[in-house]
Structure 1
Amino acid sequence: MALIDPSEARALAEGRHNDPFAVLGAHGGRILALQPDAARLWAMPEAGETVELAAVAPGVFAAAFPEGVAYRLRAEGAAGQWDFDDPYRFGPVLGEIDEYLIGEGRHRRLWQALGAHLIRHQGVAGVHFAVWAPEARRVSVVGGFNNWDGRRHQMRKRGATGVWEIFLPGLVAGEAYKYEILGADGLLQPLKADPLGFGAEHPPGTSSVVRQLGLHGWQDAGWMGTRAAANTIGAPISIYEVHLGSWRRVWDQGGRPLSYFELASQLVDYVVDMGFTHIELLPITEHPFDGSWGYQPVGLYAPTIRHGRPEEFAALVDAAHRRGLGVILDWVPGHFPSDSHGLARFDGTALYEHADPKEGFHRDWNTLIYNYGRREVANYLLANALFWLEEYHLDGLRVDAVASMLYRDYSRPAGEWVPNIHGGRENLEAIEFLRSMNASAYAGAPGILTVAEESTSFPKVSHPVHEGGLGFGFKWNMGWMNDSLRYIARDPIHRRHHHNEMTFASSYAYSENFILPISHDEVVHGKGSMLGKMPGLEGEKFANLRAFYAFMWGHPGKKLLFMGQEFAQDREWAQAGALDWHLLDDPRHRGVQSLIRDLNRLYRDTPALHWGDCRAQGFGWIEADDAANSVYVFERRAAGAPPLVLLANFTPVERVGYGVRLPQPGRWREVLNTDSAVYGGKNRGNLGGVTTGDDQRAGVYLPPLSVVMLMPETI
């Protein structure tokens, strides 16, 4: 009697069998094995005599063999002789609950089921691989361990969920791998990286790499237990936005970027010294193209290998926490690149993306759009948010390009977009996804914050889901940013005609929980640096910039500044280089850096400057209409704390004895003056403070292009 039908043996040899686990291994009194590079093959039971298998097709061997007996295989070929465990003698790893939750799109910890996991299975160490590819005819794991031969490790399909899995005994951490997928049309797809891979090769390599999660021993329990207070609307939140690859480089080693370990000391020390409360990282999720700055990720579950292994990234986060810094990750669920090794047509169909390019393609970025209405795709993204918050203790996610998710007609001409079921332009599925993500993140990782980069007036972005909002904790105030940068770039002689550009934001300042961002987007693509935006001669440029920063720190809203702007970098940012740290040899640049340090200290230590960032009670105009002099005066307040008054003069003309009615009588200290010589100014000011008359009016000296801050003197 034949041990296997010849046509079935040929299907195995050619990688076309629809259920290899049903025939390979020991079944029904026979053993069948697939080893294409073997000339001879033996089965070695734990007890009993070795059995030689006969070749029944190229690379396919069979012999009579008792069922239920543990065994190993011995192969002989051109490479010599080697022993190994047969992957097809091992049972499934995924349980019924995993399978059910994946099928329902409700597996909140999807990364614990899918991806590549180092485990012991049936007493043997190895790696369990699992991937979602519902329309595939066949999925195989390939790598150097099997000569990238997709015939050798064909995976087991787990029913209707579309998940495929296999346990490969003997594999260890560091192995590079991909998936070879035979599509529904019978055609091989380009080799695919693992959508839930925890590591990746150094670019230009594109393989996933087996990595062990949880290797870092966390020492941040103190921070994790108290961080909620640091992330509330009433807390001082001052964010230093960083692109890790270009913050600093090691020039005597070929200009390489710093490692996560080096950043854990150098970056963290610097941010602490500068007084920021949080670090925000441009996306460190694995991405193939440096020039995307991480905003076109392929490995959403992998910290980029450019700076080290996953446990080393964890060490960076831990180091920040132990110094009292929160860490926010720029997160990109809005689009993904079409690289052949990525998610695009993953199993030969539009799996993660929409099939219709009117719904599934971004013209602006030449990227694909996730199908948020497919429950498995929404689950993939939602679980990814929880992955970073739980596995890497991150304190927040800033979601990129939210407007592109909210609107189906985003950057599309008429006729090039598909309306929603009600005929409208809103992307109802993306809205539901964002609400679900925010609700799950706040529930699953207490004390975190989420931030939306949302450039339209979509309502209630930072309102709770149960109140009809999107559920974000904060929203970038793009309106304030655009208006204020437009104003400060004008020649001072023209500013009187555009006075409202600096006051308009106060009319909507409390409609959302706002962050005031001067982000990387404002210093690239020909926009120049912040210093370069300023009008006037060199000294006036610095004075303008100092005044702008002080106005920003005094204005309601949390603060965000991109790296390099804190010392007035004079050229726009370039990701291939590094910041111009040598500029700190110039006292004018060093003065701006000192100003930011002092602004952060004052902001952090003065309740009036942060308690009311997102509360209308925290702000009031004293003088909003002096367009003729381009002067602004406002008060910042906090419950049970002294007020602070900010006076800004945005002309190069000094204002001597500028009359202003202060909130209370008495002596007011000058707690900050951007014209101080310490900051690179000319040391013109109020000799320490001013005193009001009984009518609470005082004459304040306002240096040219400056901001002065006053607080009541306490005895």
Structure 2
Amino acid sequence: MNSKTQPDPALQRLLDGDHDDPFAVLGPHEIDGLRHVTCFDPGAHEMAAVVAGVRHPLDPVPGAPGVFRGPVPGDLEYHLRGSANGHVWEMEDPYRFGPVLGDLDEYLLGEGSHLRMWEVMGAHPRSHDGVFGTHFAVWAPNARRVSVVGDFNGWDGRRHPMRRRGATGVWEMFLPGVAEGAFYRYEIKGPDGRIQPRKADPFGFGSEHPPANASIVRDITGYGWSDDDWMTSRAAAHDPKAPISIYEVHLPSWRRKDWGRPISYVEAAEELVAYVRDMGFTHIELMPVSEYPFDGSWGYQPIGLYAPTIRHGLPHEFRDLINAAHRAGLGVLLDWVPGHFPSDAHGLGRFDGTALYEHADPREGFHHDWNTLIYNYGRREVSNFLTANALYWLEEYHADGLRVDAVASMLYRDYSRPAGEWVPNKDGGRENYEAIAVLQRMNVESYGQHAGIMTVAEESTAFPGVSRPVDAGGLGFGFKWNMGWMNDTLEYMRKDPLYRSFHHHQMTFGLHYAYTENFILPISHDEVVHGKGSMLGKMPGDRWEKFANLRAYYGFMWGHPGKKLLFMGQEFAQVHEWNHDAQIDWGCLADPSHAGMQHLVRDLNRLYREEPALHRLDADPAGFAWIEGGDTHNSVFSWIRRGAEGDPQVAVICNFTPRAHHGYRIGLPAAGRWREALNTDAALYGGDNRGNFGAVEAKPGASHGQPAMAEVTLPPLSVIYLVQDDA
């Protein structure tokens, strides 16, 4: 190329894909008092700017294939008309449009305090200067060039390089004519000059069906919610004094349709909502719905944090599911994963050619357990990204709360790391101050901006104050999963009843710390995978004993202080371990034993909701008193649950041996009739109908530290609930 055909250096940088300010070269610019237009279209042989129907030819620039330039008189708006091989097309020039992001947006983004980031980042269909198109914005501060590529420009990174916005590291561009449904990614040239793998939009609202992974432009505005009654009253449903019974759901495997496809959001809005309401649960908890590439991660390795997974439908259809749940009086909790993200090439890893969202040091930035990357929580933009994401699901989808996954992995720098392979905090300790600050910020902003929501921590250690307010030194969650209770009690239940007397403490130990947090008792998906078997499979004994043991365990759980959570399929004692690639074992319900278990869970939920003593003081030691917690010989546990003054008290008596106890004496807080409100040995549930003929009569006389006493029949492997009838 000789000097006569060599383009100017700025134009050469553009052609080389190295120009970080393409608007300085392309679009309209004044030269000697006259507007000149420069455009780039590598497919065009000829190009013209059209103003008010008048065509103004643009000349090809020597040495710059596809670049055209020429004067365009006046200041009226123009559009471009290209042609090649007899084909003619018209288009708006994206480089004639000014920025969309305002100064305030730029300031807040730079400060890390833009709590509605999703409204300005990502891809938004909109009108700009009277023209409809899509505005794109992405954070890539260390990039030499960022382009939007998609089905609208032949995935050619030369076509639409973006505008860099100051020191924030945000790049933006308005592309006229690009509408909802367009496929796109970002093509990024890193600081070393190498083009990165094409990246999905971190703020994208939609994605292709996996394993394809392009982002898709989705308009998430304009949904017609009809859940005002729920939204204005839901605070009462999330109070620690309220009955909270959660049905945990992996939507792809809850119910399959049409030769195995997952249920859609719209179908779930009818079928799942109706089922959960009929079963008496108060909440649905959905395992992660943020877009994720690998089915086997169950959603816990998300890439599209702002996109409801396309596996079940579109964003508005996901809203249909939540709207339907609210209209049925059910809350919806979403599992949220701020602890890590996968290293897939199209994801956040080395997004702009550097460790941007993650720590560069693998001792801080890599999870060996999951082969995933850890967010750099100390970076203000990353903290903003995560906090805004939590608010996004609460705001845009009316989620009633977030259950935060793997909190322990965030709290400790040495989580699952051998000595020497982790970096201490500034004080030399193991606590991850930056991650703690992110969790606290998320909780403060979530509760502050969305009245009546609840946040839940899956936290498996004794970290103090998880469900205590931030201003009192806590993490600010509303509730915490009681993993210790779950592990201890399941370990007890696995044992042959012959040996349970030696492990009695495993059922009572949880009461020593039951009021240190606002606890949820979780029987989650984690207990029925990876060779652990189903809940029924964990129980010892023959078939009858397995069912009786599981019925008794559920009776124990629903009578114990703490909110309840049960994973799908366990409500009817699914036989097989959970398989994420198939629906749960609905066929079990043809067997009366399984149908009886389902009936029991439905009745436990009903009793739990109807009797204030079973939920009102869940987080208050005044709501619980042992009758007998030390009968190791008989493996019997009995206690009183209390509500507010005037609420009927409830006695819960558990027999974890396969022999019946007749005339078993218990103390009760009042003489009179105590109604047998539930007996897990009832024939309706698959038992043998042994019990107390509907009631027991308590007589005056001290026993077990109580002023009255009664003699009861305890069927084998059973739990009975006695409700004070004349309170």
* Normalised-by-shorter TM-score class: over 0.9
Q: For 1:162, which of 169, 193, 209 is the aligned residue?
A: 169
1:520 paired to 2:532:
no
Of residues 426, 431, 434 in structure 2, which corresponds to 1:426? 431
Secondary structure, counterpart of 2:521 in structure 1: strand
Give the structure 2 partner of residue 9 of structure 1: 11
Equivalent residue in structure 1 for 2:76, among 69, 73, 76: 69
Deviation at 1:309, TM superposition (A): 0.2
How far apart, CA to CA, are the structure 2 residues paired with 1:136 and 1:236? 51
Instruction: Summarize deviations over 1:426-467 as a string: whole Å, max 9, x none.
Output: 000000111110000000111000000000000000000111
Partner of 2:687: 681
Alignment partners' CA distance in 2, 1:78 and 1:332? 52
Moved more, 375-384 or 9-18: 9-18
Q: What pairs with 1:215-364 in structure 2 (closer than 5 Å)? A: 215-250=222-257, 253-364=258-369
The C-alpha deviation readout for 1:117-168, integer Å capped at 9, x for no partner, is 0110000000000000000000000001000000000000001000000000
Give runs of aligned pairs for residues 468-487 of structure 1, distance below 5 A.
468-487=473-492
Structure-2 residue corresponding to 1:654: 660
User: Secondary structure at the residue paired with 2:341?
Assistant: coil
The residue identity in structure 1 corresponding to 2:10 is E
For 1:230, the aligned partner's letter is A
Q: Who is 2:678 aligned against?
A: 672
More displaced 10-residue stretch of structure 1: 65-74 or 471-480: 65-74
Q: Which amino acid aligns with 1:13?
A: L
Contact 1:192 1:342 in 2 (8 A): yes
Taking structure 1 as reference, are residues 3 and 322 closer, same or farther at Cα in structure 2, changes over 3 Å only? Answer: farther
Once residues 447 and 149 of structure 2 are traced to their aligned partners in structure 1, the CA distance between those partners, rounded to angstroms, is 38
The CA deviation at 1:79 is 7.8
Q: Is 1:42 aligned to 2:44, yes or no?
A: no
Is the 2:571–2:597 contact (alpha carbons within 8 Å) kept by the matching residues of 1?
yes
What does residue 705 of structure 2 align with? none
CA contact (8 A) 2:648 2:725 kept: no
Q: Cα offset for 1:36?
A: 1.0
In the alignment, structure 1 residue 532 sits paired with structure 2 residue 537: yes
Matched residue SS, 1:486: helix
Structure 2 CA distance for partners of 1:79 and 1:383, relative to 1, 3 Å: farther
Read off the aligned partner of 2:60 and give its amino acid letter.
Answer: A
Q: CA distance change for structure 1 residues 683 and 501 in 2, over 3 Å: closer, same or farther?
A: same
Distance in 1, matches of 2:212 and 2:698, equals 69
SS for the counterpart of 1:693 is strand
Runs (5+) with no aligned partner, structure 2? 702-707
- Residues 1:410 and 2:441 aligned together: no
Q: Which consecutive unaligned segments of at least 5 residues does structure 1 have?
A: none
Counterpart position of 2:515: 510
1:4 CA drift (Å) = 9.6
Letter in 2 for 1:25: G
Q: Which segment drifts farther, 65-74 or 370-379?
A: 65-74
Q: Which of 102, 119, 139 lines up with 1:95 in the alignment? A: 102
Q: CA deviation at 1:216?
A: 2.2
| Matched residue count | 713
* CA offsets 1:647-696 (integer angstroms, 9 cap, x no match): 00000010001011111001111000000000000000001111122211
* Structure 1 position 214, deviation (Å): 2.4
Assess if the C-alpha contact under 8 Å between 2:56 and 2:72 holds in 1.
Answer: no
2:385 equivalent among 362, 380, 385: 380
SS at match of 2:699: coil
- Tell me which amino acid in the other structure corresponds to 1:224: M
**C-alpha contact (below 8 Å) 1:30/1:67 kept by paired residues:** no
Amino acid at match of 2:105: D
Q: Retained in 2: the 8 A contact 1:157–1:165? A: yes
Q: Give the whole-Å Cα distance in 2 for the aligned partners of 1:376 and 1:594.
A: 50
8 Å CA contact 1:265, 1:319 repeated in 2: yes
Q: Which amino acid aligns with 2:616?
A: W
Q: Does 1:712 align with 2:718?
A: no
Give the Cα separation in 2 of the matches to 1:47 and 1:95. 33
Matched, 1:577 2:582: yes
| CA distance in 1 between partners of 2:340 and 2:637 (Å) | 42
**Take 2:41 and 2:16, find their aligned partners in 1: how far apart are those partners?**
12
The answer to whether the 8 A contact 2:266-2:320 is kept is: yes
Q: What are the superposed Cα offsets for residues 202-247 of structure 1, whole Å, 9 maximum, x if unpaired?
A: 1111010000012421000000000000001000000000000000
Does structure 1 residue 143 correspond to structure 2 residue 143? Answer: no
Could you tell me whether the CA contact under 8 Å between 2:92 and 2:176 is conserved in 1?
yes
Whole-Å separation in 2 of the counterparts to 1:68 and 1:132 = 33
> What are the residue-to-residue correspondences of 1:175-190 with 2, within 5 Å?
175-190=182-197
Tell me, in whole angstroms, the C-alpha distance in 2 between the residues paired with 1:504 and 1:394.
34
SS in 2 for 1:205: coil
The amino acid of 1:318's aligned partner reads N
Alpha-carbon offset, residue 176 of structure 1: 0.7
Q: How big is each residue's C-alpha offset from its partner over 1:564-588, in whole Å with a ceiling of 9 and x where there is no partner?
A: 0000001110000011101100000
Match of 2:117 in 1: 110
CA shift, 1:78, in A, is 4.7
Give the conservation status (yes or no) of the 8 Å contact 1:353–1:371: yes
Is 1:599 the counterpart of 2:604 in the alignment? yes
Residue 59 of structure 1 is matched in structure 2 by 66
Task: Show CA shifts across 1:365-413 (max 9, x none).
Answer: 0000000000000000000000000000000000000000000000000
* Residue 211 of structure 2 is aligned to residue 204 of structure 1: yes
Residue matched to 2:704: none
Moved more, 129-138 or 210-219: 210-219
CA distance in 1, matches of 2:5, 2:206: 42
How many angstroms apart in 2 are the aligned matches of 1:569 and 1:121?
Answer: 55
Aligned 8 A contact 2:94 2:176 in 1:
yes
Q: Structure 2-normalised TM-score? A: 0.97
In the superposition, the TM-score normalised over structure 1's length comes to 0.98
Amino acid at match of 1:675: D
Do 1:216 and 1:315's aligned partners in 2 also have CA atoms closer than 8 Å?
A: no
Following the alignment from structure 2 to structure 1, what is the Cα–Cα distance between the partners of residues 674 and 165? 73
1:473, CA displacement in angstroms? 0.1
RMSD: 1.3
Out of 365-374 and 206-215, give the one that drifted further. 206-215
Q: Report the residue type matching 2:724 in the other structure.
A: P
Query: 1:646: how far off?
Result: 0.3
Distance 2:86 2:313 in 1: 34
Q: Percent identity?
A: 64
* Inter-CA distance 277–373: structure 2 relative to 1 (3 Å threshold): same
1:26 corresponding residue in structure 2: 28
SS of the residue corresponding to residue 50 of structure 1 reads: strand
After TM superposition, what 4+ stretches of structure 1 lie above 6 angstroms from structure 2?
A: 1-4
Instruction: Check whether the contact 1:26–1:68 (CA below 8 A) recurs between aligned residues.
Output: no
Contact 2:20–2:164, Cα closer than 8 Å, also in 1: no
- Check the 8 A contact 2:204/2:304 in 1, yes or no: yes
Aligned to 1:437: 442
Shift of 1:65: 2.7
Are 1:3 and 1:63, in contact at CA under 8 Å, matched by a contact in 2? no
